[in-house]
A and B are shown apart, each in its own frame.
Chain A
Amino acid sequence: MAAHSGARLPPAPSTERHGRVLLVDASSRSLERLAQCLRPIAADLTAEASLAAVDPEGRYDLLAVNYDSLSPAERESLVEMASRWAPRPRLLLLANGNVRNDLPKLFASGMLTNLMAKNDEFAPQDLIVTVQKILRSDIFGLEKYFSWGIEPLTFEIRFASGKAEVLRTTEEYATKLGINSRIAAHLSTVVDEFLTNAIFNAPTTPEGQHRFAHLPRTSPVELGADEVVTMKLCCDGRQLGVSVSDPFGSLSEKRVLDYLAKCFRKEADQVDRKAGGAGLGLFYAFDALSHFVINIRPKQQTEMIGLLKLTATYRDFAAQSKSFNMFVSE
């Protein structure tokens, strides 16, 4: 393990490890807990109690920060500091629900691609999956978020008109699970938005021009046999998951962050007036989900994953902070 100005952490037991990770957390207890989770998977781990202590010449693959522990001044300087580094590390913020007020600014910065919910404490399993995806570039698959043995329902969709049937099946699935009706409605919202995005916004020509994005969402779009959209739906009693994958990979990181920033600003341009979609789909998915994941392999595949924590009441669901990840793999 390389030496850095921060705490030098003992090497982990021998496993294949990837990447240089910098942890910043003012709470020593929390910092040690984070390190315990990440030490076995990072090739190089540095821990600091504040941003001021971070080596400005450091080169990291991932900067993981307990956002709640930062002072207002540190929050202001975080994005600016991370964006100065070359190459730019991926930024992962661990935060409770209070980060919501800062989301317009954070999304607009173009740096916030990973936000991890901290409800009292972070969830180690979610953190490890997220960091492994960042460091290893093995990003696709709903199954990564579920216990071994969970078999998802799989749907293949080629026609825009097929969305209604999939939505009916999704509602039946949620009804059979007996979950809170408003969480079930969130699942339908997410399926609706993910499918609309995959059928209308994702398809491109070989030259990269969007084929159907300008069309009204009532248009009878038909995808080719080799352009099938795949949806998976599963539940392990702890959470519900849905993924929608298209074979285009046309969504860009910048586009996602621009749309989220625009919608969270809640100004007059929140709803698009242009031909095509309303530009709210990503925002609706973010709002509806406990954890929203976007996986992109440019020009090959986009996969949107939505996870909903199952709680007895909607109030408990709404009180949880949210996670958001965007992974791009070449």
Chain B
Amino acid sequence: MGMTSTFSPEAPAGTVHVRLAGDITEESSFEPILRSDAPVVVLDLAEVRRINSAGVREWVNFVAELARRERKVTLERCSVAVVQQLNMVVNFRGNADVRSVFVPYCCGACGAERSELLEVVGPGAPDVASSIACACGGTMEFDDLPETYLSFLG
């Protein structure tokens, strides 16, 4: 599934707000975003499904170019796949601020999977719920390693 970029027409003046979706790979191009001269760039990454190694380099070059142009960049609604890259690749974040991420849960009773949005800005470590209710009546447990999932926050 190739990457798509959808520009929000409702972004305030001076801000470009882009929703990225699909897989970030060697085929992905960030040129349309770089063509904007807005000083503030907000990237909604909720629908980013997978990122391969070639895609990571495209991304790292992209965020480095945004930094070189002194754009203020915010990553919001980072999918679980994006969080994984934030933890693995040292330059993935560039100079961007991370506003919010999705946190994965899995139900032990029915196997359902779901992600919940978590704000990560502000003082102190964000509070990750260890479990949430599942629609089946069971309990969904946090489905990653608590000690490492948000390690990119430092």
User: Chain A interface (Cβ within 8 Å of chain B)?
Assistant: 180-182, 185, 188-189, 192-193, 196, 216-218, 266-268, 270-272, 277-281, 283-284, 287, 312-315, 318-319
- The answer to whether B90 touches A278 (Cβ under 8 A) is no
- The answer to whether B108 touches A313 (Cβ under 8 A) is yes
Let me know if B101 is at the binding interface, CB within 8 A.
no
Let me know if B111 is at the binding interface, CB within 8 A.
yes
Contact with A along B1-41 (1 / 0, CB 8 A): 00000000000000000000000011100000000000000
Give 24 A-B contacts (CB < 8 Å), ordered by A residue: A180-B111, A182-B80, A182-B113, A185-B81, A188-B50, A193-B52, A196-B52, A216-B26, A217-B26, A266-B89, A270-B91, A271-B57, A271-B91, A278-B54, A280-B53, A280-B89, A281-B53, A287-B88, A312-B106, A312-B111, A314-B143, A315-B142, A315-B145, A318-B145
CB B122 to nearest CB in A, in angstroms, measures 26
- The answer to whether B49 touches A196 (Cβ under 8 A) is no
Chain A, residue nearest B148 (CB): A318
Chain B residues near A279: list those with CB within 8 A.
53
Let me know if B60 is at the binding interface, CB within 8 A.
yes
User: Bound complex: CA of A314 vs CA of B115, how far in Å?
Assistant: 13
Chain B residues near A268: list those with CB within 8 A.
90-91
- The answer to whether B144 touches A315 (Cβ under 8 A) is yes
Q: Which of B54, B60, B88 has the most CB of A within 10 A?
A: B54
Residues A266 and B90 in contact in the complex (CB < 8 Å), given A193-B53, A271-B60, A278-B53: yes
Q: Which of B49, B53, B54, B91 has the most CB of A within 10 A?
A: B53
User: Bound complex: CA of A283 vs CA of B54, how far in Å?
Assistant: 13
Chain A residues near B111: list those with CB within 8 A.
180, 312
User: Bound complex: CA of A271 vs CA of B89, how far in Å?
Assistant: 8
- The answer to whether A277 touches B90 (Cβ under 8 A) is no
| Interface SS of chain B | mixed
- The answer to whether A314 touches B144 (Cβ under 8 A) is yes
- The answer to whether B89 touches A180 (Cβ under 8 A) is no
User: Bound complex: CA of A217 vs CA of B28, how far in Å?
Assistant: 11
Chain A residues near B88: list those with CB within 8 A.
283-284, 287
- In residues 47-98 of chain B, which contact A (Cβ within 8 Å)? 49-50, 52-54, 56-57, 60, 80-81, 88-91
CB A296 to nearest CB in B, in angstroms, measures 20
A-B pairs, top 10 by smallest CB distance, nearest first, are A217-B26, A280-B53, A278-B57, A217-B54, A266-B90, A278-B53, A313-B106, A192-B52, A314-B143, A281-B53
Chain A residues near B27: list those with CB within 8 A.
218
User: Bound complex: CA of A78 vs CA of B144, how far in Å?
Assistant: 33
- The answer to whether B113 touches A181 (Cβ under 8 A) is yes
CB A276 to nearest CB in B, in angstroms, measures 10
Chain A residues near B91: list those with CB within 8 A.
268, 270-271
Other 16 A-B pairs with CB < 8 A, given A192-B52, A271-B56, A315-B106: A185-B50, A196-B52, A218-B27, A267-B90, A270-B90, A271-B91, A278-B53, A281-B53, A284-B53, A287-B88, A312-B108, A314-B144, A315-B144, A315-B145, A318-B145, A319-B145
Contact with A along B88-128 (1 / 0, CB 8 A): 11110000000000001010100101000000000000000
Chain A residues near B81: list those with CB within 8 A.
185
Contact of A284 among B25, B52, B90, B141 (CB under 8 A): B52
User: Bound complex: CA of A280 vs CA of B89, how far in Å?
Assistant: 9
CB B115 to nearest CB in A, in angstroms, measures 10
Q: Which of B56, B81, B89 has the most CB of A within 10 A?
A: B89
Chain B residues near A266: list those with CB within 8 A.
89-90
CB B67 to nearest CB in A, in angstroms, measures 14
User: Bound complex: CA of A271 vs CA of B62, how far in Å?
Assistant: 13
Chain B residues near A181: list those with CB within 8 A.
113
Chain A residues near B53: list those with CB within 8 A.
193, 196, 277-281, 283-284
User: Bound complex: CA of A270 vs CA of B87, how far in Å?
Assistant: 13
- The answer to whether A196 touches B108 (Cβ under 8 A) is no
- The answer to whether B143 touches A313 (Cβ under 8 A) is yes
User: Bound complex: CA of A11 vs CA of B145, how far in Å?
Assistant: 44
- The answer to whether A318 touches B144 (Cβ under 8 A) is yes
Chain A, residue nearest B55 (CB): A278
User: Bound complex: CA of A84 vs CA of B142, how far in Å?
Assistant: 47
User: Bound complex: CA of A281 vs CA of B104, how far in Å?
Assistant: 25
- The answer to whether A314 touches B52 (Cβ under 8 A) is no
Chain B residues near A218: list those with CB within 8 A.
26-27
